[in-house]
Every structure is written in C-alpha cells, then in structure tokens.
Amino acid sequence: MRAVVQHRYGGIEHLELTELASPSPAADQLLVRVLAASLNLSDWEGLTGRPAYARIGGLRRPARPVLGSDVAGVVEAVGAGVTAFAPGDEIYADNLGLKGGFGELTVVPAEAAAPKPAGLTFAEASTIPQAGPIALQGTAGAGPATRILINGAGGGSGAFAVQVAAAAGAEVTAVDNHTKLDFLRSLGADHVLDHHTTDFAATGERYDVILDLVADRSIRACLGALRPGGRYRAVGGPVSTLVPLTLAGLALRPLTDRRIGLLMVADGPERFTPMAERVLAGEVAVHIDRTVGLAEVPEALAAIGAGRAIGKIVVEPAA
C-alpha cells in the first residue's frame, strides 16, 4: 500500500511517499481502507516532535511513522473479538493512538470507531472526530448573555466552536489572522480580531469563557481577560506555557473565582457523534479548505503548521 512515512522528527523534508506492507488487524481492531483523513494540529506536532508531549512513546524517533488520526473509510477485515463491525461497513474514527490515516490502509481499535452517517461524505466525516469534541467541550456552558472568546478560531476546532457558541446565543469574539476574519464572520462571530495587530488580552474586554487553541499568552494576561467567575481553557500549546498554566490554576483556585487551566478533552465515539448529529441537522457546517492526495500531504501539513488552513484540510489517499 502507499503511505506517507515520517522518518524522523523535524520538517516536511522528513516525509516520503512510499510503499509499505499492508497492516493486519490484531484482536479488537479493524483494518480500514482510508477514503478520507483530516489534518489536525496534532499531526504537525507529531511531525515536528514539539511540544515535548508529541514524542510520547517515541522519544528519539516517531513511534507511529504514518501520521493521520482522524479517518473515515470502509472496513476491509476485522480482528478476533470484533462483533460491532464487519467487512464493508463505513466508519469514521479518532485513531490518535495508532494513527496511519495518511496511507491507503490503517488499523483502528474497534472502540475508537463509529458507523459513518449516510448523510455525511467520507471527507466530511473525517473532519469531526478530534475537532468536534474540542469544540463542544470547550464551549460548554456558553449561552445567552455569555461572552466567549475563541483564540485560533479559523482552524477545524475553532470553526466548529464558533458555530456552536453562536447557535447557543453567546456573544462570540473570534481571533485569528487577517485572512480568516471574513470566514469567521460568516460562521456567526460577532467580533473578530487579527492576532497580528491586536492582543485580545490588552483590549480591556473581559470574557466569561476563553477557549484558547493557541495558548500563546501569559498567565497574568489570561487571568486578566476573564470576568469574575469566568473560565479560561487552553488546548495544546508549548509545554513552557501549559505546565505553568496548570500549576497556576491549581494555586489560584482558593484565591479567586476565575478559573484557568487545560481543557482535558474526553474522546471517543460518544464524544464525537453529537457533533455529527449537529452537522446532519444543519446546525453546524463542515468547512473544508481543500482536499489533497497523498503526494500533497507535506505541503498540507506545512499549511497547518503555519496556520494558513481555513477550516479543515482533508487527505483522500485514492486521489
């Protein structure tokens, strides 16, 4: 089978499109023919090996040489003990543990997969497993009279989060670069900020909820941008930011009613299927920047790393 293989941590020059032996499913696994795999920031982190947690399981070399965790495709074979799926079933999954989406075939734990809704294309389904739970959990509690800011709003998770918060009646401020501001307005953002020219923490505005998909501000700035009783949650970012943020959140808990810390995202089908249901109901739209073939994966990953993707980029291995 064809796959994009990562030989070492670093830049896109360490990726190679090559032939690999087809994998076989172990017990409780599915062998899936990948028809679509969406790119996430976690794929870029897995390529570069930064932040440090991206090297878990493979300190010196990537433990999983084929990246790509959000997959949608058709079951080709099942391992021992699998009863919920059979060859020919259409599925989508968050395969963060095993990856392999940037190849024609991959193995997926059966517990990580769900039947693909007939109303979604494979490309659409592949955009949901990671980004959907982040958006839903990151905006939980948003509603009328709630002021929410989403930093890094123009990517996959952010685009879902803006729509979910706007649909709940919240006043939404979306932050990203200037090329995405019109897109963010089209999603329902009430206010948009270009992070190159405006520091959201220095405007004097205060928020009930801040969902930070970039985590590039100081603890003092994060705390100062919250209203009394507000909460700030970061998803991803450098360890040099995340560790102090976590410790500060614990230390400040007895001293203030403002809450800062990490968003510990619960994953799995029961967490991502609710977003698929919203898409099917027309409440949330999937925004695909573009679809690419395996040969274009390096360029697509570079776009993710540079923050140039608007919504999601999807790989279609058969293209």
Q: Please check the confidence at residue 301 and state whether its pLDDT lies above 90.
A: yes
Give yes or no for residue 52 having a pLDDT over 90: no
Phi and psi at residue 88, to the nearest 5°: 100, -15
Residue 30 confidence (pLDDT): 98
> Rounded to the nearest 5°, which phi and psi values hold at 155?
-90, -165
Closest CA to 37 of 319, 314, 268, 305: 314
Question: What pLDDT does 250 receive?
Answer: 77
For position 236, what pLDDT does the model report? Answer: 72
- Whole-angstrom Cα distance, residue 166 to residue 161? 8
Give me the pLDDT at residue 168, please.
97
Residues 6+ positions from 17 with CB-CB distance below 8 Å: 2, 3, 4, 5, 294, 295, 297
pLDDT digits (tens, 9 = 90+) for 171-204: 999 999 999 999 999 999 999 999 999 999 999 9
Identify the pLDDT of residue 238. 65
Q: What is the pLDDT of residue 59?
A: 84
In this structure, what token pair is assigned to residue 272?
């991502």
CB-CB contact of 34 with 71 (8 Å)? yes
160: left (phi over 0), alpha (psi -120 to 50) or beta: alpha
Token couple for 68: 């790509």
DSSP per-residue letters across 239-296: HHHHHHHHHHHHHHTTT-S-EEEE-----SHHHHHHHHHHHHTTSS---EEEEE-GGG
pLDDT of 298 reads: 98
Give me the percent of the chain exceeding a pLDDT of 70. Answer: 98
The domains found in the chain, sorted by start residue, are 2-127+288-315 (3.90.180.10), 131-262 (3.40.50.720)
Its pTM stands at 0.94
Helix (H) or strand (E) holding 161: helix 156-167
The answer to whether residue 19 scores a pLDDT higher than 90 is yes
Which residues make Cβ contacts (< 8 Å) with residue 67, sequence separation at least 6? 4, 6, 43, 46, 47, 99, 101, 102, 301
**What is the pLDDT confidence band of residue 240, given thresholds at 50, 70 and 90?**
low
Tens of pLDDT, residues 121-150: 999 999 999 999 999 999 998 999 999 999
User: Residue 239 — pLDDT band, cuts 50, 70, 90?
Assistant: low
pLDDT of residue 258: 85
pLDDT score for 56: 83
Mean pLDDT of 214-225: 85
Higher confidence at residue 253 or residue 113?
113
Of 318, 309, 317, 1, give the one whose Cα is nearest residue 159.
Answer: 309
Note the Cα 155 to chain centre separation in Å. Answer: 8
Distance CA 195, CA 180 (A): 11
